[in-house]
Chains A and B, each alone.
Chain A
């Protein structure tokens, strides 16, 4: 009895510290933001990680900016812009407190929105400090802003604005003839550099004078990079992409260029086909190239004296590649991998924060337990020996030996162990396949309207929610994706469709000339994480187009 009492006390003592442990001592945490893609990298500010969402919101929900405690993952604050339209892809910008001729300012998070607004938020509580407005042409701001001393420089949809950091008053405005998209601005000693959708590199002096260099028929969708060799631009062209040094074409590259970065004289580029590094001193010279698929933000992890370059992998498999072009690009994967354009972000104490089109923010405080696979993409399709293979072979040999010796007991034992090993080995595949089958059982909310004719049942239907009334077209069949089905329905209904090509795919600009605040679609009442060209439809799907 006494001994049992001792054991009881020991167990209780052992477990009490566990009970009282602070739940914040986690090695990593994640949160589903549930209202959009994460298209730009999170940022670390003091003890916070701050991230923004864009895209597939539902109902009245709109893109947000969130702040979480780095250690615990507890939400500090959130900020939403109810007037935002699609694709808030301008990266968040942290500005440290300071002062200038136009006043003083505190620690701020600068957020640019697709409704043309620029908002300065208090980094401590997310409170609005000031807000300024820029022009909207279907979209507002989508490119990266930059700090220039006491000013914030903003690449707007059709020009450039500069605001005083202390109160948001505009002190420079330059209108440009060309539209732009994700065209970040670069601040140099005496000018601002920004590209546009017509392959023109604008050089805006700090007093507002504009000169430009026409590079090619293409789109500049990144902040131009300044090197000792000259200004580097990576244009997206109709056949792929092209790297320019000043006005000189130095290389033709693959499709959908990523946002390049430079470290000293080295400039890192990416496309859907490869990543490459060029050394730009007097001239630009290719130093290395590796096959990899990246289209988003290339980021840099400072690691002592060296740097590691990270590339978001923008295909269905997702994940992030890291390494130096010319060497094997390693792959980092998470449990939420899918299309990814947001860069990997790194905190001051080795923390990592990342997100992708799944809209889940993951923060890793200790990378020992990361689900990281180091794979060379080119090897991934070939057979790779796994310890389980050797174990299975060993068990088979053991079974053969036991049968030879008529040892039935040993045969049974090795037999069930073999079954267990095979079952464990096959589990990921079986579980994945089974899960997909089970998902089919989940009831889809559907989007059927009882007023529609019965003859439309089992056919493809498209609904356009135009300002002057809904237009529904049914009885269609044989179309594979939303784009094909929409085109066919629009043709039947006599609705004019205007589309535009972007790096993320085809997008609807207007129906019957109605641009509104942009258009979004659902398939059978649900949004999809992919664009109209990739969104699959079945033979009885209902596609609904409505104003964003």
Chain B
């Protein structure tokens, strides 16, 4: 039986769903527990942007494959590093899928966006608050398509042959194109503000905090 409102692939049973949730939440926990010193402000910034990203997925759900989260993962990874960026990706995916529908595809989406955040952290896309815009646009378009193909693997179990999977991917190309265009639009419209926000909000965190005797000595 095929449900009308769950077309990504295999639907999971309650126990399987619980296992998936615990694995993903644990993964986020593992990523966030280092470095051990986390400023309140950083937690607030990360939480706010995660909620905004999850909300954007829900609000833009009527538009097929318009996913600003892809671009946000790139910028978050580039600005906050791989661990924070990947945790952001997993949490935003899980939060939004509570509303958008949860299943095996959540695993593929979460890992896909986490991988994008990881890529973002390695490509020097952000210098301070300045973006390497051309590089960001190019990367966003490429990873959008790769992300779609990765998530399509969740449907593999319902397809009988590899060639069927090829046909499935081919059928999805117009939607991949929309994802890529939406990511480019996000890069142009959202990324500068997001990078600047992250820079402003986290730059002060890198400065040594003046406390205790050190203050007295240096004063």
Residues of chain A whose beta carbon lies under 8 Å from any beta carbon of chain B: 1, 3-5, 7-8, 11-12, 14-16, 18-23, 26-32, 73-75, 335, 362, 369, 412-413, 416-417, 419-420, 423-424, 427, 430-431, 434-435, 438, 441-443
* Seed contacts A7-B43, A19-B15; 10 additional CB < 8 Å A-B pairs: A1-B38, A19-B20, A30-B4, A73-B3, A416-B188, A417-B189, A419-B181, A420-B185, A427-B178, A434-B171
In the complex, whether B82 has a CB less than 8 A from a CB of chain A is no
Give 16 A-B contacts (CB < 8 Å), ordered by A residue.
Answer: A7-B32, A7-B47, A8-B26, A11-B25, A11-B28, A12-B21, A16-B18, A18-B21, A19-B21, A23-B13, A29-B1, A29-B3, A30-B3, A30-B4, A369-B5, A438-B171
Asked if residues B11 and A15 are in contact (CB atoms below 8 Å), the reply is: no
Q: How far is the CB of A496 from chain B (nearest CB, A)?
A: 42
B14: chain A residues at CB < 8 Å are: 19-23
Asked if residues A18 and B63 are in contact (CB atoms below 8 Å), the reply is: no
Q: How far is the CB of B179 from chain A (nearest CB, A)?
A: 10
Asked if residues B184 and A416 are in contact (CB atoms below 8 Å), the reply is: yes
A contacts with B: majority SS: helix
Contact with B21, one of A3, A15, A441 (Cβ below 8 angstroms):
A15
Q: Indicate whether A8 sits within 8 Å of B2 (C-beta atoms), given known contacts A419-B181, A434-B173.
A: no
Asked if residues B32 and A4 are in contact (CB atoms below 8 Å), the reply is: yes
Q: How far is the CB of B43 from chain A (nearest CB, A)?
A: 6
Asked if residues B33 and A12 are in contact (CB atoms below 8 Å), the reply is: no
* Residue on A nearest B36 in the bound complex, by CB: A1
CA distance A391 to B38 in the complex (A): 43
Q: How far is the CB of A35 from chain B (nearest CB, A)?
A: 15
CA distance A3 to B11 in the complex (A): 33
Asked if residues B181 and A413 are in contact (CB atoms below 8 Å), the reply is: no
CA distance A420 to B185 in the complex (A): 7
Number of A-B residue pairs having CB atoms within 8 Å of each other in the complex:
116
Q: Indicate whether A8 sits within 8 Å of B170 (C-beta atoms), given known contacts A417-B185, A424-B178.
A: no
Q: Indicate whether A420 sits within 8 Å of B171 (C-beta atoms), given known contacts A4-B32, A28-B5.
A: no
Interface residues of B in 49-88 (CB under 8 A from A): 63-64, 66
Q: Indicate whether A15 sits within 8 Å of B174 (C-beta atoms), given known contacts A73-B1, A424-B64, A441-B167.
A: no
B25: chain A residues at CB < 8 Å are: 8, 11-12, 15
In the complex, whether B17 has a CB less than 8 A from a CB of chain A is yes
Q: Report the 7 A-B pairs with minimum CB-CB distance, sorted nearest first.
A: A19-B18, A19-B17, A15-B21, A416-B185, A8-B29, A431-B174, A420-B185
* Residue on B nearest A442 in the bound complex, by CB: B167
CA distance A21 to B98 in the complex (A): 12
Asked if residues A23 and B11 are in contact (CB atoms below 8 Å), the reply is: yes
Q: How far is the CB of B83 from chain A (nearest CB, A)?
A: 12
Q: How far is the CB of A158 from chain B (nearest CB, A)?
A: 40
Of the listed residues B4, B26, B177, B178, the one surrounded by the most CB atoms of chain A closer than 10 A to its CB is B4
Asked if residues A15 and B98 are in contact (CB atoms below 8 Å), the reply is: yes
A18: chain B residues at CB < 8 Å are: 17, 21, 98, 102
Asked if residues A29 and B4 are in contact (CB atoms below 8 Å), the reply is: yes
Asked if residues A424 and B4 are in contact (CB atoms below 8 Å), the reply is: no
